[in-house]
Structure 1
Amino acid sequence: MRRFADRIVHRHLERSVYRWLDGYWLFLVDLTTKDEEVSDLTLHAKLADASDARLEVQSVHVP
């Protein structure tokens, strides 16, 4: 399972952008589907630098 997860994470990192902005991470990730390795959907999310932080999805859309 670990090797599978590593492969998925690596694949997403090739198609993503993330940036540290004054206290939080901002993500832009191309999403995949069961049928397509890369779909036309993009996830925009934010992750604060806090011990109880949760991923805040800002949008999922076709750019």
Structure 2
Amino acid sequence: MLIYRFLTGEDDASFCHKVTKALSEGWQLHGGPTYAFDAHNKKMRAGQAVTRPAKDQPYDPDKKLSEY
């Protein structure tokens, strides 16, 4: 099974740290980053999809992704 997460945040160093932490935990980048302007807050927002293989087990929507 492949687990999918979409990380989002303000386009700043904390977002880069969030992605770096995910990579250090075995997640892999899935596609390129996305950017959008948040007109309400007048800031750029960033997003990055990441995936990670998990042991063969049934998907449980109540389970935290970190528990796979």
Larger of the two Rg values belongs to structure: 2
Question: Fold match, TM over 0.5?
Answer: no
Using the size of structure 2 for normalisation, the TM-score is: 0.29
TM-score, with length taken from structure 1: 0.30
